[in-house]
Structure 1
């Protein structure tokens, strides 16, 4: 008989860099299957719990709402016949994540443009021997807002 590997709450919390309270919250919120108890009464997690928690953390860290996470976890618990619905949830979230990444990249480009502009202002001041970096870059800011 093959013995299942179990993890303590401390091991799981440390692995995912979360508190015991967060781990218990995930249990109460229905994001994990019912956690087993050792003969001593202590909670213990199966490898499948840890795998699900990894996915839950990925989804949560990418802003999936708790209600949607709960729905996904319920589908997992219902069995393989829910795989098409799970796929829909994940594909929808992936599309939203892709859009958010594009938006963030656009914002990053704007920030980097401003950084480049300020570096050019500082270089110009150094070349002319000015000690103050203060400049009237309102026209540059206005141009960025418009264009």
Structure 2
């Protein structure tokens, strides 16, 4: 029995992945596909389900802010096949550390946002008269009462 692989147009892949046609062409030009994009009759691009599955991986890695050169390198390693798993692991561990650091910074930001929202909820609950008399604590006082410790932001 012959396995028939559905052929998808660039528009169909764009619709399925949420990527624009322009982005799909860009990814192709950047060498992010695992296999060369095939061409059908008339020279139009045709894609397989494997291409869509790989694009899903790329979308997730890009959403996690994996830099394009790193994603390009990862695609190249996968394309090479077995024998470079240590390098793939190192690449993923480095990216994992970047994502973990970003999550930590976002968690600190979320803590501050929640604290500020609670302060303003208290003021709103007290009513506008209390807010007019109180004017709330100064910005410096609010920062000092913040549950988020102050720290220097490293230059990137």
TM class by shorter-chain length?
0.7 to 0.9
CA distance 1:37–1:133, change in 2 (3 Å) = farther
CA distance in 2, matches of 1:63, 1:131: 41
Partner SS, residue 41 of structure 2: coil
**Cα deviation, residue 51, structure 1:** 1.6
- Provide TM-score, normalisation by structure 2: 0.82
Task: Report the TM-score when normalising by structure 1.
Answer: 0.86
Q: Does 1:135 align with 2:135?
A: yes
Q: Note the alpha carbon deviations across 1:36-72, whole angstroms, 9 max, x for none.
A: 1123422111222112111111111111111111101
Equivalenced residues, count: 145
- Residue 5 of structure 1: CA displacement? 2.5
State the alpha-carbon separation in 1 of the partners of residues 82 and 41 from structure 2: 30
Q: Assess if the C-alpha contact under 8 Å between 2:123 and 2:136 holds in 1.
A: no
User: 2:91 matched to 1:73?
Assistant: no
Give RMSD over aligned pairs: 2.2
Matched, 1:91 2:57: no
Distance 1:136 1:116, change over 3 A: closer
Q: Higher relative CO (CA 8 A, sep ≥ 6), structure 1 or 2?
A: 2
Deviates more, 1:94-103 or 1:53-62: 94-103
1:1-147 to 2 correspondences below 5 Å: 1-32=2-33, 33-125=35-127, 129-130=129-130, 132=132, 135-138=135-138, 139-144=140-145
The answer for unaligned runs of 5 or more in structure 2 is: 151-156
Deviations 1:6-33 (A, max 9, x none): 2211111111212100110000011113
1:122–1:133 CA contact under 8 A, matched in 2: no
Q: Indicate how the Cα distance of structure 1 residues 77 and 115 shifts in structure 2: closer, same or farther if over 3 A, else same.
A: same
Inter-CA distance 136–43: structure 2 relative to 1 (3 Å threshold): same
